[in-house]
Structures are given as C-alpha cells and as structure tokens.
Amino acid sequence: MTEASARPARLDDAVDAAIVREISLDARATLSHLSERVGLSVSAVQSRLRRLEARGIVRGYRPVLDAEALGRPLAAFVEITPLDPAQPDNAPELLAHLTAIEACHSIAGDAAYMLFVRVPTPRDLEELIRDIRAAAHVNTRTTIVLQTFFEARPIEPADFPA
C-alpha cells in the first residue's frame, strides 16, 4: 500500500462539500434539487456524486426509522471488556450475528468496545446482555437511554483543499 492510498478519500472542493452537505441533510434530494443548491447542471452534479460514491466518501443512503414504531423502543449502550486481557481482540466478529446490536465502536478507556443496542423490552435487553457475554466472553456495563434529543445528525464536511 502506498502512502497516498493509505490516506482516506477527501473532498476536492467547495462544490463537493456542498453536495455532501445537501445529501447529508436529505438523502432523497433529487439531482435537480442538488443542481439548484450547488449551482451546477444536473449532469455535472450526477457526475460528481458518482465520483464521491466511487471514492467511498458517499457510502450509501439510508432511511431514518422510528425504532419505537418498529417495536424496539428500548435503547442502551453496552460497554464490553474481555474477561481475559490476553484473549483475541475479535469481539466484533463474535457479536456480528446479534442483530439487536446497531453499532459497535472500538473505544479508549477501561472498556474495549461500546455497543449501541435496541430491543423491545427490559427482558429482551437482559437476554441480549447474556448473549453478548456468552458469545464474546466479556464483562458488560449497561446504560439505558431514557430519551434521545438528537442522533444521526448530518455530518458537516471539515476543511478541504481549495
């Protein structure tokens, strides 16, 4: 791997940043809407968007779903720490089959990973924690979410080359 290929993809200019900003606010924005917002033709926006997708800057488009309406109103953060510090660091692979785990983050601090989970009931959370402990051979520390004020916020592009 060369030094250049090791670096993450970056935005090329302010127009790319504007396109990313617009689709971050509304992933269903039409090419026509994007064209109006960034001041380029529809074909130019389409070309830039395809390039952003090909470079991995835009990795997909997802709906924002109502977890409560889908029967998973209970959200929690679960910190996991290996029972044996010498055990392989493969918890993400060992937990991938547990679909109630919405996100798995490697973290700094006492714990090794932070999981974000959604389940229907406290009993389901208890069962999930038991499954996590058994599958990955870890200790857990759970914090239940009482209310979420915001999440999945649009990502504002950072500085980019001029």
CATH of the domain at 42: 1.10.10.10
Structure-block tokens of residue 83: 């029972």
Domain assignment present for residue 162? The answer is: no
Domain assignment present for residue 111? The answer is: yes
- Asked whether residue 132 falls in the same domain as residue 79, the answer is yes
Domain assignment present for residue 87? The answer is: yes
Q: Please state the φ and ψ torsions of residue 114, each to the nearest 5 degrees.
A: -120, 125
* 65-to-78, 101, 132 alpha-carbon distances in Å: 21, 15, 25
- Asked whether residue 95 falls in the same domain as residue 133, the answer is yes
Verdict on whether the full-model pTM lies above 0.85:
no
Each residue of 59-99: pLDDT tens digit? Answer: 999 888 999 999 999 999 999 999 999 999 999 999 999 99
Q: Please state the φ and ψ torsions of residue 77, each to the nearest 5 degrees.
A: -105, 135
- Asked whether residue 104 falls in the same domain as residue 46, the answer is no
CA atoms of 133 and 81, how far apart (whole Å) = 10
Q: Per this entry, what is the length of the chain?
A: 162
Per-chain mean pLDDT for the chain = 91
- Asked whether residue 51 falls in the same domain as residue 73, the answer is no
Count how many domains the chain has: 2
What confidence score (pLDDT) does residue 2 get?
A: 45
Closest residue by Cα to residue 77 from 117, 43, 20: 117
Domain assignment present for residue 1? The answer is: no
Which residues span the domain enclosing 44?
A: 14-55
Closest residue by Cα to residue 82 from 69, 73, 95: 95
Q: Quote the percentage of the chain above a pLDDT of 70.
A: 93
Structure-block tokens of residue 149: 């004020």
Domain assignment present for residue 80? The answer is: yes
- Asked whether residue 124 falls in the same domain as residue 89, the answer is yes
